[in-house]
Structure formats: C-alpha cells, structure tokens
Amino acid sequence: MVLMVTSTPIPPNEEETAQAKKIEEQLNLKDFVDNPSCSDQEEAQQNFQLQLNGKAFPIPATMRKLLISLIRNMAEGKAVTLIPLDSELTTQQAADYLNVSRPYLIGLLNEGKIDYRKVGKHRRVLFKDLVIYKEESYKRSMEALDEITKTSQELGLYK
C-alpha cells in the first residue's frame, strides 16, 4: 500500500517510531492479517471506532486498513507518504515510484503503456495510472513465473 500526503516521504523520528511500536503492540497489529474470505459486509459490521473528546466515530474498513498500514510502517521506522490517486506526478516522481530510470519511464509513456498528458513541454502522469501499470506488470511477472515453473516441472527439472 502506498501512503503519501506530501511530495516527499516523511520519515518518523525515534520517538514516533517508539510510539507507533507501542500502538502496534497495544492493538495486537503484529498478529492482524486481513482475512480475504471476510466479505465487505462482514467487515463493515465489525466495530472499529475512534474516540475523540468523549465521542465515538466509526472507522470504515478501508480507512482501518490505511491506518494499520501507517502504524506498521512507522513502527518499522519507514518513511510514509500518502498520494491521492488523482494526483499528477512529474516523470521523475513517476519513475521514482516505479523504481525505474526516467528514460525508461519516458519509453513506457511513448509506447503508450502508461497514459500521460503534456503541460507545455512537460509530461504529467496520474498516480492511478502508475498504480494500474505496476499491478498489471506484477501480474504479468507472476504469470510468466508460473509458466516457467510449469515448463520446468514438465521437463523434470523442477520437482
């Protein structure tokens, strides 16, 4: 999960990391695993609330997942960033997100593999398009790996 509110990741300091670890332990988040068999309706019916000034506010499942991810990452001392899906990124920011070089990203844009728009001479890429590309790329990689494994098993090279 990607988290970003600013254009630059915000690393927690030692005190914040310690606080996040304490929260993680108190909420038993180390043992928390999202249950894929749990329906959205069942998940929505679970009682997750935020207490502020004596008032209880229900926390929707999507927000709960985001908060858990935030706490876990901060407990590990990782920098955290939150990017709205409709944010436009520069080609350098997009390349950084995909962990590729800027020239490689430009090639993907020119080949039409990722949508973009031009602002003057500069390209801008929607974050949601990067997320889609990254997910599809991962899926293709897993399918290729499965095919290699299957072929290796058929040839008796892998048991």
Q: Tell me the domain boundaries of the chain.
A: 14-75, 88-154
Pair type for strands 88-89 and 117-119: unpaired
Task: Copy the structure tokens of residue 76.
Answer: 């590990």
The residue type at 30: K
Over residues 68-127, the pLDDT tens digits come to 888 889 999 998 888 889 999 999 999 999 999 999 999 999 999 999 999 999 999 999
Topology of domain 88-154, per CATH?
Answer: Multidrug-efflux Transporter Regulator; Chain: A; Domain 2 (1.10.1660)
Confidence of residue 1 (pLDDT cuts 50, 70, 90): very low
Give residue-wise pLDDT tens across range 14-53: 999 999 999 888 887 665 555 444 555 454 445 677 788 8
